[in-house]
Amino acid sequence: MVRKAFKLAINTPLDLLRAGIVSLDPVLLRTELFASHRVRERQFITDMLPKGGVGAEIGVFTGMFSTVLLDRACPREIYFVDVWWKEFGPRYPDWGRYTDRGRLGTKTAYRAAAKRIAKHAGDARVELLVDYSAKFLAELPDHYLDWAYLDTSHSYEQTLEEVSLLQKKLKPGGILVGDDWNESPGHHHYGLSQAVNEVLASGGFRLIGLYPSKQWAIATS
């Protein structure tokens, strides 16, 4: 237990330093120092993404993982989509340390993401959108994306809608990767694995693999 606690205490500040400290807002600093965002633990999944492609991160929060997608996937075009205040109003719900017990402002998170994305964008064409995932995807041309990273509510209903839409919006062989895979009934992220498995069973996607740090990857058939 001591080793695990020490690892988290070291990794979280390193993740923050790599992404960039973009605000001295004490609430934001607390959420990013004392909640594990598993940025380095997840970054290996980006190596599956085709370099120089068109991508989307759906579920951005404060943009810590956005910087990894930009730096490692090197997209020529990328969309960053999150609901921020459109869904939650001025402050996030109490998600424990992740939102500093409901003290974190949605516009504070957005501004942090915007600054980080601008810093790491390089030559990529970037769009940062405050919108619902289904609305964004429905308006995107079919077979447009080379890849997408999905990290939204993880509910069954929302994930099923998102993955079903992405089946049309990804190019043939396009890759969908995401966070928080859990197959334990009763877990609050169980709905995600249910929805993805349902779409896999329908033949719209094929499984690439399930990986450490709750990562998963599928590809359009």
Q: Distance of CA 218 to CAs 97, 143, 148, 150, 196, Å?
A: 31, 16, 10, 11, 9
pLDDT in tens, 148-184: 999 999 999 999 999 999 999 999 999 999 999 999 9
Nearest to 140 by CA among 156, 157, 127: 127
Residues 6+ positions from 161 with CB-CB distance below 8 Å: 133, 134
Asked if the model's pLDDT at residue 9 lies above 80, the reply is no
d(C-alpha 17, C-alpha 48), whole Å = 24
69: amino acid identity, one letter: L
Residue ranges per structural domain of the chain? 38-91+104-220
180: amino acid identity, one letter: D
Q: Distance of CA 201 to CAs 2, 46, 168, 180, 207, Å?
A: 42, 25, 16, 20, 10
* Pick from 5-14, 41-50, 84-93, 116-125: least confident: 5-14
CATH code of domain 38-91+104-220: 3.40.50.150
